[in-house]
Amino acid sequence: MAIHIIGVPMDLGAGRRGVDMGPSAIRIAGINDRLRDLGYTVSDEGDLAIRTQEEQRIKDQRARYLPEITRVVNVLARRVIKTMSKNDFPLILGGDHSIAIGTISGLAAFAQKQKKTVGVLWIDAHADYNTPESSPSGNIHGMPLAVLTGLGPKPLRNIGGAFRKIDPHNVAIIGLRNVDRGERENLIRLGVKLFTMEEIDRYGVHRVMKKAIQQVASRVDYLHVSLDLDSVDPVYAPGVGTPVKGGLDYREAHLIMEMIGESKKMTSLELVEVNPILDTRNQSAEFAVELVQSAFGKKIL
């Protein structure tokens, strides 16, 4: 299988600067060579061009930098469609989590033409289910999952075509531990599957992942994995956009990715919110690369 790496060095959706350097940090951590060592053909397509915050004005405080984010995720969606059309694997490096709108919209547009279904495993401390009306900050990296299930700004909902990109019942959020008040109602109303850190603590990550794979991965044709590194506890990954204490530990994170790899269902992957400014000697990016290796089949023995 050929893996196509696409960098999206965007921090426009975030409230804190630095995640635009995430793709560079992940490459410095050796992602290309690590995947080649596992036997994959890797093609690095470089980074998308993005206008910085200094080059534009905020037109709507409830959806900050919406025009440029819309442009970027539209370009990304087309790149994903192109990669999928070659029967290759898109690996997207962010950047803030708003880039998922482009990745998954591209995948959904491709799948729709094939009359296939799409599911998402969203590994994240946050639900990312705000809308401009509910968001406390107006930062779009807190909105992508809502957009992809049919809520939020129309320009973003229409990336890749005017249809709902994912059925909420085909989404599982794993590692959840920080939900805004405005998100909670829609998450429950629309039937998104929620696997909180409390559940992982209570039942163990293996049982939780087995359930998530059964309820989502096993019932769809294309499975996208969206890995926000803030799902991991800051002890192991301090260099992330929005750190939250009480996250996945080292082995829990690896087991999640190992079980995804063993399922043989993953058809696309993105890695987001790595922030080198907050990191120590690039340890978070290096951990992220290790997790990607686990998803692609690296074993201890």
- Residue 15: is it exposed, middle or buried by C-beta count within 10 angstroms (0-12/13-18/19+)? middle
Q: Could you confirm whether 206 is annotated as catalytic? A: no
Active-site position among 11, 20, 126, 286: 126
Structure tokens at 109: 């547009």
Cα(86)–Cα(75) distance, integer angstroms: 17
Per-position b or e across 250-284, b if 16+ CB within 10 A of its CB: eebbbbbbbbbbebebbbbbbbbbbbbebbeebeb
Q: Could you confirm whether 128 is annotated as catalytic? A: yes
Q: Which residue is listed with tokens 């079980």?
A: 259
Active-site position among 230, 233, 270, 286: 230
Contact between 14 and 139 under an 8 Å Cβ cutoff? The reply is yes
Beta-carbon contacts of residue 32 (< 8 Å; ≥ 6 apart): 5, 42, 44
**Residue 261 DSSP SS3:** helix
Active-site position among 47, 68, 96, 128: 128
Q: What are phi and psi of 91, to 5 degrees?
A: -115, 110
Q: Could you confirm whether 124 is annotated as catalytic? A: yes
How remote is the C-alpha of 238 from its chain's centroid?
A: 18
Active-site position among 141, 183, 252, 254: 141
Cα(33)–Cα(35) distance, integer angstroms: 5
Q: What are phi and psi of 72, to 5 degrees?
A: -65, -45
Q: Could you confirm whether 88 is annotated as catalytic? A: no
Contact between 9 and 47 under an 8 Å Cβ cutoff? The reply is yes
Q: Could you confirm whether 68 is annotated as catalytic? A: no
Active-site position among 11, 228, 258, 270: 228
Q: If residue 269 lies in a helix (H) or strand (E), which one and from where to where?
A: strand 266-272
Active-site position among 68, 96, 97, 254: 97
Active-site position among 47, 124, 279, 286: 124
Q: Could you confirm whether 230 is annotated as catalytic? A: yes
CB atoms within 10 A of CB 194: 17
Catalytic residue numbers read 97, 124, 126, 128, 141, 228, 230, 273
